[in-house]
Amino acid sequence: MEEIKRLLEKASVDYVEIHIEEYEKSYVDFNGKVLKSAGKSYGMFGNIRAFHRGGWGFSSFTELKGLEKKLREAEKMARLTSSKKGGLKSLKPVKKTVRIRLPDDPRRFSLEEKKQLAEKYNKILLSNKGVFNTVVGYLDHFDRRWIFNTEGTEIMEERIYTGVRMTAFARDGTNVQTAFDSYGEQEGFNSVTSLERMAEDVAKIAVDLLKAEKVEGGKYTVILDPKLAGVFIHEAFGHLSEADFVFENRKLFEIMKIGKRFGPDNLNVIDDGKMYGLRGSYHFDDEGTPARKTYLIKNGKLTGRLHSKETAYLLGEEPTGNARAIDYTFPPIVRMSCTYIDNGDTPFEEMISDIKKGIYAVAAYGGQTELEMFTFSAARGYLIENGKIKKMLRDVVLTGNVFETLMNIEMIGNDLHLFGGLGGCGKNGQAPLPVSDGAPHIRIKDVIIGGEK
Amino acid sequence: MKRAIRALKKSGYSGEIFYVEKEITPVEFKSNRLYAVEDKVKSGYGVRVFKNGKMGFSSVFGDNLDRAVESAIESVKLGVETEFSLPSPARIKGGLKYYHEDTEKIKVKEMIKMGEELLNKLGVLGDASIDISLRKSVKRVKILNTEGVELEYKKTGWSFGAIVFAIIADSVTWIYDFYSCSKFVDRRNQIERHIKDLYRKSKTLAKPVKGKKDVIFMPSALHTVLIPISRGVNGENVMKGTSPLAGKLGKKVLSDKISIIDNPFKSWGINTCPFDDEGVPTRKKYIFRNGVLENYVLDLRSAKKLGLNPTGNGFRSGVSLPFPDFTNIEIAPGDTSIRDMISSMKDGLVVHSVLGAGQSNIIAGDFSVNASLAFRVKNGEVVGRVKDTMIAGNSYRVFKKVKEVSKERKNFQGMLLPAIKFSSINIFGDGG
């Protein structure tokens, strides 16, 4: 690492960053009754990122040789792309080391123990007679990252992600249904050893979905559960708060005016990288900026957005510690950390009580957004009739315009929960980035639901 | 690598070492200006070892093969059961076109110039925000195994595309075009024409539409209905029994107008290659011929499990374990022009792009998407763009109700696709 510091002294452009990363992963995957794979993988990634008068050059590698040549290449590319526009918000240099200290660090457990754990859940799934196949995975991922820059920052931060995911397949003739759940945070091995209940639920839901009816397309009052509401706020709104996106789209820039109303008075949306232990948290982002808590919406009005050092400069705001890279073959870009809708005060019972006909949409298959338009697939839904939850529905896909939808939020629950898991967020080819998202239950009017019927 | 293979043999293991090295050079324009030039080099090893029907695996990025071999041997004892065996040397088809020296040698400056020219041509589109991406790559693959396979190839890759974002007729509009192949081809004019044409058409809005209608999916939106089918023929899902196409080989499952080909021999195709990532020779084959399911897409593991021959479709993501995947997807052309497909349409939609593809219960074949760029057709005329419109159905069912397949085909993200008209798909447009 001394060599790297010396290399930085040779930099000839405005700003240079050097990133080095080592990782170690253990994984176990069951497919039905069969152990599909189990083992470890290792690696090292690194890159040199150079900035010169608004232009970036970036050179990444998996072997630590010829670094000076890489530096020159990156500098050359930065000069090629430079323009008069642009700059970086400079920061006080940080010299800090963050190490993991977990009594149940998963690296202390054998692959055999990890296999037995995954096998335990797999057996629970398979013990449900309606389940004909499964995918159950265990994963731990240790990561050590070094960040050096020409401002004098020297950071080493370790993180460890531990998680389990499970999918059950149920079949009735040609009707095949699946259910999925996962748990994954920056915690030790013991955090994933008592998920028996989750396994039972996943199996039961897959089987129940066989009998669920397809939803009828139309416009409904919808209650989103904390998981789906979390995906919604992350995908549909969170990405619009990423300042690179805002800066690049003039129209969005006009829409995303600080102080403008986006939702009801009790709507608060927050991104907080400091929720240590959660999957989306960290001490320093990949530009060395300390993580922080940022209000995106406060009392229904837009109050902030997420920044890297570059976007903070371009928009004349402060870096928020949201410049992240999934690994060091990629440059850091503006990303979320732990994003959530804060608690309101409506209990679930009250939320549902006066709905004549509506839909309770639960958990998420996935979602996609194109600026203000979004679609989300709930993993399942329930018909609400006269204030009561009735039959289960499947293929519930919600779509709409995010700004109209936020304004249509009628009630916000008091049962906030954040979810991590083993997946993550994708942007510019960088996926999956560990993030957390969540919300309490929320109720929204006039949501369009697509359906085959 | 040879040393490691010899050492494995000596200690009574059979095994395989996969090496991949990839250099990607992207030039990115964002919001109408050159934003970044990158050079990314990534190399690593994937090691599989076998003893007594058990498999161990490990992978490493960086130059640390010994650690991967050690760790792979270590994991054999966990007991991953395997039935398949590694391939022996076989005849590999020669003369395939996938490496193009001039593409490897294209200078970043030339790429920047090409991008700038396209940017200038598209710059006339009012206050549109334009992103352009040009990307060349060079990939080197080596596979050695204890059965005597020693293979390697080097290939180039090239992709060029643009995304235009604009507010047209008060609606957020994204228009894009991307093509990929393994040789530099200048398609600036086609990209420009395509984008300008859609931009112009997007200026008129049509009334919302609702009910069962005919829908034409253009090549850029065809993945909506293609994703579930491609999952269905994937050996992994067939083997697990989760695919509705399990046990359907030789049966007619789609309309006889549909033939889908996996073509690893396509000249300058983005995924053209002589053998797969397990060292099995690739071959061109029909997946569906006139609607009849002829082949699954298989790697060694799924082929063995299903009692079929591997199809040369065992590919990896980086240095991961292999899994079945397509090479170059082609759908055979029909005999109707896109123009005629539209003029014979009484009432329906032409869909150019969607939001939410692949997000439904794709195993069962379901899709439910927002038609983010689609036009309403009435009495053979395009009357305008529709907004806030959901299209939903089941791929297996709609592919039985194909009305027409266009004779024109287009390279979209490396796939060669026609436009396809399906009858009676459910549409829900807000306010319709």
What is the β-pairing status of strands A301-302 and B347-355? unpaired
Q: Give CA separation, B285 vs A150, B89, B308, B311, in Å.
A: 55, 21, 14, 9
Range of the domain at A414: 214-450
Best of B111, B359, B386, B396 to disrupt the A interface by mutation (most A CBs within 10 Å)?
B359
Q: Are residues B152 and B211 in the same domain?
A: no
Of A211, A230, A259, which residue sits at a domain end?
A: A211
Please tell me the distance from the alpha carbon of residue A144 to that of residue A19, in angstroms, as a whole number.
11
Over 70: is that where the pLDDT of B146 sits? yes
Report helix, strand and coil shares of chain A as percent, to nearest 5: 25, 45, 30
Best of A13, A373, A405 to disrupt the B interface by mutation (most B CBs within 10 Å)?
A373
Which residue of chain A has the CA closest to B244?
A174
Of A164, A188, A211, which residue sits at a domain end?
A: A211
Of B165, B356, B363, the CB nearest to A375: B356
Which residue of chain A has the CA closest to B34?
A81
Count residue pairs from A and B with Cβ separation < 8 A: 242
The pLDDT score that the predictor gives to residue B432 is: 40
Q: Are residues B149 and B212 in the same domain?
A: no
What's the length of chain B?
Answer: 432
Please tell me the distance from the alpha carbon of residue B410 to that of residue B417, in angstroms, as a whole number.
5
Task: Note whether B60 contacts A43, CB cutoff 8 Å.
Answer: yes
**Cα within 13 Å of Cα(A393), Cβ side:** 25
Task: Note whether B71 contacts A39, CB cutoff 8 Å.
Answer: yes
Q: Are residues B330 and B379 in the same domain?
A: yes
Q: Are residues B291 and B267 in the same domain?
A: yes
Of B169, B199, B229, which residue sits at a domain end?
A: B199
Q: Are residues B129 and B250 in the same domain?
A: no
Whether B382 and chain A come into contact, CB under 8 Å, resolves to: no
Q: Quote the tokens at residue B60.
A: 């490493």
Mean pLDDT of chain A: 94
SS3 assignment for B85-138: CCCCCCCCCCCCCCCCHHHHHCCHHHHHHHHHHHHHHHCCCCCCEEEEEEEEEE
The pLDDT score that the predictor gives to residue B187 is: 87
Q: Summarize the confidence of residues A61-65 as an average pLDDT.
A: 91
Non-local (6+) Cβ contacts of B120 within 8 A are none
A97: β partners = A156
Over 90: is that where the pLDDT of A309 sits? yes
Q: Summarize the confidence of residues A297-323 as an average pLDDT.
A: 96
- How far from each other are the two terminal CA atoms of chain B, in whole angstroms? 64
The complex scores an ipTM of 0.86
Please tell me the distance from the alpha carbon of residue B266 to that of residue B282, in angstroms, as a whole number.
11
Quick: pLDDT tens for B239-288: 988 899 999 999 999 999 999 999 999 999 999 999 999 999 999 999 99
Degrees to nearest 5, angle at CA B336 with B330 and B339: 110
Please tell me the distance from the alpha carbon of residue B286 to that of residue B291, in angstroms, as a whole number.
10
A61: domain CATH number is 3.30.2290.10
B115: domain CATH number is 3.30.2290.10
What is the β-pairing status of strands A388-394 and A213-214? parallel
Please tell me the distance from the alpha carbon of residue A339 to that of residue B353, in angstroms, as a whole number.
29
Q: Are residues B95 and B136 in the same domain?
A: yes
Degrees to nearest 5, angle at CA B53 with B86 and B48: 50
Contact B425, B389 (CB under 8 A): no
Range of the domain at B94: 2-199
Q: Where residue B292 falls among pLDDT bands split at 50, 70, 90?
A: very high
Which residue of chain A has the CA closest to B355?
A368
Whether B366 and chain A come into contact, CB under 8 Å, resolves to: yes
Of B173, B199, B225, which residue sits at a domain end?
A: B199
All residues of chain B having their beta carbon less than 8 Å from the beta carbon of residue A111 are: 74-75, 78
Of A211, A239, A256, which residue sits at a domain end?
A: A211
Please tell me the distance from the alpha carbon of residue A233 to that of residue A406, in angstroms, as a whole number.
9
How many angstroms separate the CA of residue B355 from the nearest CA in chain A? 6
Of B199, B230, B245, which residue sits at a domain end?
A: B199
Count of structural domains within chain A: 2
Please tell me the distance from the alpha carbon of residue B240 to that of residue A34, in angstroms, as a whole number.
10
Nearest to B92 by CA among B152, B46, B22, B21: B152
Which residue of chain A has the CA closest to B133?
A428
Please tell me the distance from the alpha carbon of residue A313 to that of residue B203, in angstroms, as a whole number.
36
Please tell me the distance from the alpha carbon of residue B276 to that of residue B323, in angstroms, as a whole number.
10
Q: Where residue A452 falls among pLDDT bands split at 50, 70, 90?
A: low
Percent of chain B with pLDDT over 90: 79
Q: Quote the tokens at residue B340.
A: 């005629």
Contact A319, A408 (CB under 8 A): no
The pLDDT score that the predictor gives to residue A10 is: 93
How many angstroms separate the CA of residue B94 from the nearest CA in chain A? 32
